[in-house]
């Protein structure tokens, strides 16, 4: 079917409203927006109130409108997504160099989240049967990120996320938790799942702490070559993320 796509006029108008506010140095009154968009003033008022209700705009006490907090959320997430896409070749290089699935994680709004997974038929991913936010203490990725956090943030995180006993090797006493300093690698040797080993290193993702981890055979965990390859890959990923953000 080759017909023209159906376009929703109200959505088009709302987007134009937001553009008009932005084009007025980020602050405009309803009459200014109506003139800029060519919309009736009554329609403009309805659209402005709707956009403000959803957080795309904010109404000030003097009746003018400015861009809302949702704009910042989209901008930040879009920048992060571009950075991850830009870093994918570096993540693939690390997968091929160490022969295991690669995970990129970030510390976002008080939680540790997986931003990207790069695997293959030869290097399949490990299923995270327990969410990372509940198992950071038992994973190389989580320990690497926790080691980067200021003490007050780290203590807050560990208070909100009890150290669950996932395997007989899991450390459940935070006083015994081995968190690597920046520039060193973190190791999970059967702490998350028996028979699964992973190493991780710090990456720079912008404002947030980040880490890249690779699933690796037990016999290779402590090898100097594994450490050096991982740190080299983490550096590649950090540089790619920076380029993706336009830094």
CATH at residue 13: 1.10.10.10
| Domain termination site, one of 67, 92, 115 | 67
Q: What is the mean pLDDT of residues 89-113?
A: 91
In this structure, the answer to whether residues 124 and 222 fall within a common structural domain is yes
Whether 2 is in a domain gets the answer no
- Phi-psi sector, 246: left (phi>0), alpha (psi -120 to 50), beta: left
What pLDDT shows up at residue 170? 95
Classify residue 93: in a domain, yes or no: yes
CA atoms within 13 A on the CB side of 93: 15
Per-residue model confidence as pLDDT tens digits over 153-202: 999 999 999 999 999 999 999 999 999 887 889 999 999 999 999 999 99
Classify residue 182: in a domain, yes or no: yes
Verify that 81 and 166 share a domain, yes or no: yes
Query: Could you give the number of structural domains in the chain?
Result: 2
Dig out the tokens for 145 from the structure.
Answer: 């990120």
- DSSP characters for the chain? --PPPP--HHHHHHHHHHHHHHHTTTEE-HHHHHHHHT--HHHHHHHHHHHHHTTSEEE-TTS-EEE-HHHHHHHHHHHHHHHHHHHHHHHHHHHHHHTS-EEEEEEETTEEEEEEEE--SSSPPPP-SS-GGGTGGGSHHHHHHHTTS-HHHHHHHHHHS-----STT----GGG---PPTTS-EEEESSSSTT-EEEEEEEE-SSSEEEEEEE--GGGTT-HHHHHHHHHHHHHHHHHHHHHTT-
pLDDT digits (tens, 9 = 90+) for 69-98: 777 766 666 566 677 778 899 999 999 999
Domain that holds residue 18: 9-67
Q: Indicate whether 187 and 223 sit together in one domain.
A: yes
Among candidate residues 67, 88, 117, the one where a domain is terminated: 67
Q: Cβ contacts of residue 151 below 8 Å, gap of 6+?
A: none
Any residues with CB less than 8 A from the CB of 124 and at least 6 apart, and which?
101
Tokens 């084009």, located at residue = 23
Q: How far is CA 7 from the centre of its chain?
A: 32
CATH of residue 133's domain is 3.30.450.40
Model pLDDT for residues 20-59, shown as the tens digit of each residue: 998 888 889 999 999 999 999 999 999 999 998 888 898 8
The residue assigned the tokens 């953000």 is 245
89 with 24, same domain: the answer is no
Q: What CA–CA distances, in Å, run from 173 to 86, 137, 170, 198?
A: 38, 10, 9, 20
């Amino acid at each position: 079917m080759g017909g023209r796509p159906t376009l929703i006029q109200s959505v088009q108008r709302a987007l134009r409203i937001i553009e008009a506010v932005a084009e007025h140095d980020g602050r405009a009154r309803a009459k200014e927006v109506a003139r800029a968009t060519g919309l009736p003033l009554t329609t403009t008022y309805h659209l402005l109130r709707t956009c403000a209700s959803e957080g795309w705009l904010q109404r000030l006490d003097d009746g003018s409108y400015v861009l809302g907090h949702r704009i910042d959320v989209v901008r930040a997430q879009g920048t992060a997504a571009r950075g991850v896409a830009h870093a994918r070749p570096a993540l693939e290089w690390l997968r091929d160099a160490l022969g295991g699935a690669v995970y990129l994680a970030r510390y976002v709004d008080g939680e540790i989240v997986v931003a990207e997974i790069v695997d293959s038929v030869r290097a399949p991913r490990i299923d995270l049967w327990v969410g990372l936010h509940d198992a950071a203490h038992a994973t190389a990725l989580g320990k690497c990120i926790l080691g980067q956090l200021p003490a007050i943030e780290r203590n807050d995180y560990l208070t909100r996320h009890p150290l669950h006993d996932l395997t007989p090797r899991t450390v459940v006493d935070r006083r015994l938790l081995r968190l690597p300093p920046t520039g060193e690698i973190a190791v999970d040797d059967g702490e998350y799942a028996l028979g699964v080993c992973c190493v991780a290193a710090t990456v720079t993702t912008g404002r947030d702490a980040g880490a890249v981890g690779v699933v690796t055979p037990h016999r290779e965990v402590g090898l100097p070559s594994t450490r050096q390859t991982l740190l080299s890959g983490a550096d590649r990923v950090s540089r790619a993320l920076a380029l993706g953000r336009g830094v």
